[in-house]
Amino acid sequence: MTQSIYILNGPNLNLLGTREPDVYGSTTLDHIEKSCLKFAAEHDLEILFRQSNVEGKLVDWIQEAGQKGDGLILNAGAYTHTSVALLDAIKASHVPTIEVHLSNIFQREEFRHHSFISPVALGVICGFGANGYELALRALLAHLKGS
């Protein structure tokens, strides 16, 4: 049975490739999506890849992932550090979640060191750039298989 993984991306991630490439790299979100879809095809996964700058839309998608999906990979962007709403949505949805960040948030400004997502995530992957998404897919797949 094909498992469904939601990959949700928060504010400003639509600007990847041009936004602070020294911090976030030069890979675009479109390229990351294509890489995730390639991984999915090789591992019999269905990927629903989405991005929004709107917190409420992310909440809606997290709830959808809890109803229709098997797992969630979330790069909440700046909402990581501010959104109790995303925390509550993940808690309510009971969907296995992995938090992803392109940069190493612990090497950056102090306010980025706190995450509202981490307490309800299976794990956090940060600092590996676009490769973090494949690492998250591998970790989530292993979790779903029980290994």
Q: Are 80 and 120 in contact (CB under 8 A)?
A: no
**Beta strands 3-9; 71-75: pairing state:** parallel
Sheet holding 45-51, edge to edge: 45-51, 3-9, 71-75, 97-101, 123-126
What digits encode the pLDDT tens for the residues 30-55? 999 999 999 999 999 999 999 999 99
Name the band, by pLDDT with cuts 50, 70 and 90, for residue 105.
Answer: confident
What digits encode the pLDDT tens for the residues 62-101? 999 999 999 999 999 999 999 999 999 999 999 999 999 9
Q: Is the pLDDT of residue 20 over 80?
A: no
What is the residue extent of each domain of the chain?
A: 3-145
Which is the catalytic residue, given 24, 79, 81, 133? 24
Q: How far is CA 108 from the centre of its chain?
A: 19
Is 6 noted as a catalytic residue in this protein? no
Which is the catalytic residue, given 79, 81, 94, 101? 101
* Topology of the domain comprising 3-145: Rossmann fold (3.40.50)
Residue 62, exposed/middle/buried by CB under 10 A (0-12, 13-18, 19+)?
A: buried
Is 81 noted as a catalytic residue in this protein? no
pLDDT at 103: 86
Helices then strands, each counted (H, E), the chain: 5, 5
Q: Is the pLDDT of residue 26 over 90?
A: no
Please count the residues of the chain. Answer: 147
